[in-house]
Amino acid sequence: MKEISKIAMAALPLIFAGSSVFSQSLDDAKKAIDAEQYQKATSMLKNLTVTQADKDENYFYLGWVYILQDYPDSAKTVFNQGIAKNAKSALNYAGLGAVARLEKNSAGATTNFNQAISLAGKSSTPYLYVGKAYLLDPADAKAAADVLNKGKAVNGKDADLLVTLGDANRLLVKSSDALNSYEAALTANPKEASAIVAKGVLWKFANNFEQSEAEFKAALALDPNYGPAYREWAETDLRWAFNDPKMASAKVKEGLENYKKYLSLTDRSVESRIRYAEFLLLAGDYKALQAEVAELTKMSTNLKVQRYLGYSAVENKDYPTAVTALNKFMSEAGEKRIIPRDYIYLGRAQIGTGKDSLGINTLKKAIELDSTQADLYAEIGKTLFTKQRYVEAGDAYNTFIAKGKGVKLTDHFYEGLSYYYGFQKQYFSTNKEVAAKADTSLLTKADSAFAYVIDKTASSPYADAFLFRARTNDYKDADRNNIKGLAKPYYEKYIEVVNAKGAPTDQKGKTNLAEAYAYLGTLAEFKDKDEAKASENYTKARELDPANKSAQRYFQKKSSAGR
């Protein structure tokens, strides 16, 4: 999430091989990593692996930068080189464990982490990086905290470790413990800007945005060039905007400005720009996001670029671009790096290009990977309904209603519509065998859905629910020679609700109301043998819709009889 102005020196040539020069140079590289100046750090560390090729630490920190840049294959190569230089390099084993975690190789991660800890001796740094490796997946904060506490026992004044322990406790929602760790880090090193920023992040998640800003300002007072403070400040602005609608516009604008400051203090590397892209994604600025990642595709093979290009293209309804980008990402990233969200966006893109069946199957894949994505069934239902695959649409809405979290009354209504139209499509099929076997259970399902809507809108009646429940029950009145009038109470209620709002002025409203009166007229004419009632209802139907066939038939019959 950062971007950085170009650095003055791409590499730091080392002329001297003395230990003091090595120490200072590695320290500079580590400071660059902390400042998220990854391009600068990479250049320095590559140089160190040449000029100080026997130092296994150089390889580890170079590999760690690759981890942070999402290049696990390159990281693995460098960590192995470090171990080749020193078979007892605890840090490089920690690095291999981190790679194994990214590859979702739990056994490999555990083996390498255990090896790192067994070789750590009196150094807390291997514990630190095993903890950081666990935190690559926030869900593993407990494992991170456990190993970091062991590292704390080795060296309770390791400020970096204390900050990371605080981060783990924050993710575990142990806010007091997190704050204590950050304060301990500042006691160990009063100039630890990352600890102050971490306190700001802690306050951010407590929605104490003013205190959060105060911490970021304090970190910048300590080090005006500490870019991560601006990045976290920008992300706090965004959270503030989401939580306070009155401040939304101002805070999103401020967040973008703070992110630009962050970029100016880093090296504007591809990775920094990718983090900026992530910020734009969170901010919902999809046009800016697509423009940013479109530029990045010209200069980077980082697969995240393709992922975010795909996401933004979907949001901007540029579906062909999205399909191409996401297919490239998913084919090259491999299953271990694919997340449910990738399938969600690819599915939407496929549907957007007209490949509905493929898109629906892709959305279902997302649900298989993450059952909390059950709300996608609503999208699937909508797509199927649009394509007139009504029975499947009804089933999708039914599943969404059973498992989803954002269920609305309109979803129940569309479940009913889907089953209603599904039956109707079978009933009027040109295939006589299909028509003869029209599934009446669909009518029961439709009736149940409409009944639910009617029940939940009793205080503010939803007219169309009565209309479609009437139509559904009319189909259920199967014996047309001995009609029971199952639809009557719903058509009557429909008439009552519509007229209570005033006579309809649009043709669709008039046609639907005429349908209700015509049904009552037919019932009075043929079932009740009430000529006066029949005439009254047919007359109202004709006035609303002169083209109503039932009314036309009735009055033509009367006209013929009167001759």
| Residue 306 · residue 297 · CB < 8 Å | yes
Beta bridge partners of 4: 266
DSSP 45-97: HHHHHHHTTT-HHHHHHHHHHHHHTT-HHHHHHHHHHHHHH-TT-HHHHHHHH
DSSP H helices, 265-406, are: 270-283, 286-296, 303-315, 319-333, 340-352, 356-369, 376-386, 390-403
Architecture per CATH, domain 445-561, reads as Alpha Horseshoe (1.25)
Secondary element (H or E) of residue 24: helix 19-34
Rounded Cα gap, residues 391 and 413, in angstroms: 14
Rounded Cα gap, residues 202 and 196, in angstroms: 10
One pLDDT digit (tens) per residue for the chain, 563 residues: 333 222 222 333 332 333 333 444 899 999 999 999 998 999 999 999 999 999 999 999 999 999 998 899 999 999 999 999 999 999 999 999 999 999 999 999 999 999 999 999 999 999 999 999 999 999 999 999 999 999 999 999 999 999 999 999 999 999 999 999 999 999 999 999 999 999 999 999 999 999 999 999 999 999 999 999 999 999 999 999 999 999 988 998 999 999 989 988 987 777 778 888 988 998 889 999 999 999 999 988 889 999 999 999 999 999 999 999 999 999 999 888 899 999 999 999 999 999 999 999 999 999 999 999 999 999 999 999 999 999 999 999 999 999 999 899 999 999 999 999 999 999 999 999 999 999 999 999 999 999 999 999 999 999 999 999 999 999 999 776 788 999 999 999 999 999 999 989 999 999 999 999 999 999 999 999 999 999 999 999 999 999 999 999 999 998 887 65
Q: What is the reported pTM?
A: 0.70
